[in-house]
Amino acid sequence: MRWPFVIAVIAINAGCHGPVHRPGDEWLEAIHFEGNRALDDDELLSGLALHRTQEAGRAPDPYLVSVDADRIRGKYVRLGYIDVDVRSHVERHADAVTVVYRIEEGYQAPTKIQIEGLPPEVSPDSVREHLQLADGEPFDYAKYEASKEPLQRLVADAGYAHVKLDASIFADRANRRAVVELHYTPGAKCRFGEVTVVGVTGELADAVKRRLDFEPGEPFSQTSIGTTQLALYGMQRFSTVRVEPELDKGNVVPVRISVAEGASHQVTLGGGVGMDPITYEVRGRAGYTVAGWPWPLTTFELDLRPAYALLRDGDGYEPRVRAMAKLTRMDLLATNLTGSIEGGYNYLVVEAYTSYGPRARLGLSYPLGTPKLQAAIGWQIERLDFRDISPVLDTDTIARLGIDRTERNGDYTAALAADLRDNPIEPTLGVYAQVQLTQGTKYAGGALDYTQVTPEVRAYVPLGPTVLAGRFRYGAIIGDVPPSERYYGGGSASQRGFGERRLSPELFGTVNDEYTIVPIGGASLVDTGVENRMPLGSIRGMRLGGVAFLDGGDVTDTPSEMNLRHLHWAVGLGIRLFTVVGPIRFDVGYRLNRTGEGEPEPDSRWAFHLSLGEAY
């Protein structure tokens, strides 16, 4: 009986916590606004000195009352309300004080643009295109301020390295408008001069010069300076890059490029845990990278990824090991053409079998005009042996899956990827699209002939404080189906109404008097979903977010069996805690359909997932 009383006392004490006011001492109780329509109270209140006074429980200073009136007036003027009038008065109720601001907004002035001094190569229309304001549009100071640098760069890109822009605004009250005056002093036309590279020598310095977006003798361009700097950072070899035009040298502008190499040796260690209705999983990762070894333009990498999955029903464990060594060479035969050679060893235990063996790969990648659009081709060969085959699999199934013999898989791959997201780690806007085509053939050294295609699209749209994210992925294998390439669905990064790999063709049987389900995968996959990501506050300085999702998917034995109108669907909720190592994610999914006999995981509707990173 005492617990409700204790909780009530705690709640009352928590709600009463704040500044203590002594009798006779004035304190600011409230700040009120009257007459405001264009800006709401919260917008006007933010940034006021009196707001801090109110939170501290102090008396209002008359000087601050006047200064804040000017701040409010300034907010309106920045939006074009050039005749706004702001008056203040103070109301007292005993020791409590309320400051009231009476606002007469007036009219919002339209914009008038005047341009003078442009060189002949730059038209007034191009200036107006770069200015975020148009004639007759309501004036907005933020748009004007954001346009000033692009407006100056527009003329600098025409070769006028010493251009000066005198931009100003005045209120034309007679004509009830805000006039934006842009006066250019372009100076003499300039050309690029000699380029000097400081900080590296030899092949690496030559690679720097190959990434210049300009040549000596070409007309000066400020945009080319910025593009060059981005390209040099894109080499991922430098901790600092400075591309500095020496404007004091006259009409021929030398360029000094100063770079500092990043750490050549890097060791990475990491790990994580995962949990779903089927397994507990512990994952580790260790990596070692050497930049500039054994040659200046190469990078050598070692990567070890062990994992250990324990089946929750106690039937066994699934160790997984991937070891890889990779050598990458930039500017192979051509600028920005990256070549790689890698070799490794995989050891994987799954429900149906244990596979193990070496693999090797050669690859080439190249940006198609922009780093956001990448094309890649490659050749890969892999040898896998199989053991510990589940007794649930009969002889015919073992032969059909191809795990009764050594798998020798050789293939050629081609991929095209476009990444138009604002942030690849936590995207809020944009699109990512990729398509990969694999051709397995004896001419690549393999024993299987097949064609595999896997397109994927992800999209992100901000909706106020939330982000709507969507994904669609399709996969199909036509011809022979390599055991190592079979598709499995379900899990934290797939259809979240199922446990890991459980949305797949599967076999049922009894092992040691225990009923056992063994997923065997399929030759066709669909993964799709949409989720709304929303902020929920913070915990100990770390952001907390929530999601509501709808996932769909299926995996079938053959592509012809896939029916997009009859997918497995699930809805669910999840939370994310954004830590320094990435978002820790917990999701709960509830299946909406196809839960009867003959379906994967029959009579099971709920699934939960604990993992690291977003689903897509």
Same domain, 478 and 408: yes
Distant-in-sequence, close-in-space partners of 15: CB < 8 Å, separation ≥ 6: none
Whether residue 180 sits in one domain with residue 286: no
What is the count of structural domains for the chain? Answer: 4
602 vs 330, higher pLDDT: 330
Looking at residue 339, which CATH number applies to its domain?
A: 2.40.160.50
Supply 484's token pair.
């190592």
Q: Are residues 463 and 337 in the same domain?
A: yes
- Where b means 16+ CB within 10 Å and e means fewer, 416-440 reads ebbbebeeeebbeebebbbebebbb
Phi, psi of 206 (to 5 degrees): -65, -40
How far is residue 526's CA from residue 563's CA, in Å, rounded to a whole number? 9
Residue 154, pLDDT > 70, answer yes
Query: 596 or 363: which carries more pLDDT confidence?
Result: 363
Give yes or no: residues 252 and 295 share one domain.
no
Structure tokens at 59: 């008396």
Look up the CATH number of the domain holding residue 153. Answer: 3.10.20.310
Encode pLDDT of 379-398 as tens digits. 999 999 999 899 999 999 99
CA atoms of 274 and 587, how far apart (whole Å):
12
- Please check the confidence at residue 499 and state whether its pLDDT lies above 60: yes
The predicted structure's pLDDT at residue 510? 81
Give the end of a domain, one of 237, 261, 285.
Answer: 261
Structural domain for 56, as ranges? 2-104
Task: Find the distance separating the first CA and the last CA of the chain, reported in whole Å.
Answer: 49
Q: Please check whether residue 219 is in contact with residue 158, taking contact to mean a CB–CB distance below 8 angstroms.
A: yes
CA 15 to chain centre: 39
Distances in Å between the Cα of 115 and the Cα atoms of 122, 131, 524 are 11, 11, 61
Residue 555 pLDDT grade (very low, low, confident, very high; cuts 50, 70, 90): very high
Distance CA 328, CA 49 (A): 57
Mean pLDDT of 115-134: 93
Same domain assignment for residues 382 and 353 = yes
Contact 329, 295 (CB under 8 A): yes
Note whether 89 and 98 are within 8 A (CB). Answer: no
At residue 316, the pLDDT reads 63
Say if residues 616 and 493 touch (Cβ distance below 8 Å): yes
Per-residue pLDDT, 46:
83
pLDDT in tens, 50-75: 888 888 888 888 999 999 999 999 99
Q: How does pLDDT run across 79-89, given as a tens digit for each residue?
A: 999 899 999 99
Q: Which helix (H) or strand (E) holds 267?
A: strand 265-275
Residue 490 sits in the same domain as residue 605? yes
Q: Has residue 294 got a pLDDT over 50?
A: yes
pLDDT at 9: 37
Residues 403, 536 within the same domain: yes
- Sheet containing strand 238-245, strands side by side: 191-198, 252-261, 238-245
Asked if the model's pLDDT at residue 272 lies above 70, the reply is yes
Separation between Cα atoms, residue 60 and residue 25, nearest integer Å: 11
Go through 582-612 and write b for each residue having 16 or more CB atoms within 10 A of its CB, e for each that does not.
ebbbebbbebeebeeeeebbeeeeebbbbbb
Shared domain for 590 and 480, answered yes or no, is yes
Amino acid at 550: L
**Nearest CA to 361 among 376, 340, 338, 390?**
340
Cα dihedral across residues 400, 403, 409, 415: positive or negative: positive
The predicted structure's pLDDT at residue 20: 62
Given this model, what pLDDT does residue 19 score?
A: 62
Instruction: Please determine, for residue 584, whether its predicted confidence score (pLDDT) is greater than 60.
Output: yes
Which helix (H) or strand (E) covers residue 260, if one does?
A: strand 252-261
Domain co-membership, 145 together with 212:
no
pLDDT of residue 18: 53
pLDDT at 181: 95
How confident is the model at residue 275, as a pLDDT? 63
Reference 206, options 76, 293, 297, 312; nearest CA is 297
Cβ atoms of 186 and 118 within 8 Å: the answer is yes
| Burial classification of residue 189, based on how many CB atoms lie within 10 Å of its CB (0-12 exposed, 13-18 middle, 19 or more buried) | middle
* Residue pLDDT, tens place only, 335-354: 999 999 999 999 988 889 99
Neighbours of 320 (CB within 10 A): 16
Taking only the tens place, the pLDDT of each residue in 400-437 is 999 999 999 999 999 999 999 998 888 999 999 999 99
| Shared-domain flag, residues 230 and 315 | no
Burial class (CB in 10 A: 0-12, 13-18, 19+), 26: middle
209-263 pLDDT tens trace: 999 999 999 999 999 999 999 999 999 999 999 999 999 989 999 999 999 999 8
- Range 289-317 average pLDDT: 84
Q: Is the pLDDT at 16 greater than 60, yes or no? A: no
Of 217, 244, 261, which one is at a domain's C-terminal end?
261
pLDDT of 12 reads 36
Domain boundary among 160, 185, 210: 185
The secondary element (H helix, E strand) that includes residue 381 is strand 373-387
At residue 11 the predicted structure's pLDDT band, cuts being 50, 70 and 90, is very low
Q: Are both 179 and 320 inside the same structural domain? A: no
> How far, in Å, CA of 251 to CA of 218, rounded?
12
- Is residue 313 pLDDT above 60, yes or no? no
Contact 358, 383 (CB under 8 A): yes
The reply to whether 179 and 205 lie within a common domain is no
pLDDT value, residue 24:
73
CB 559 within 8 A of CB 478: yes
Q: How confident is the model at residue 23 (pLDDT cuts 50, 70, 90)?
A: confident
Collapse the DSSP code of 128 into the 3-class scheme (helix H, G, I; strand E, B; otherwise coil) and give the result.
helix
In this prediction, residue 279 carries a pLDDT of 65
**pLDDT at position 270, please?**
80
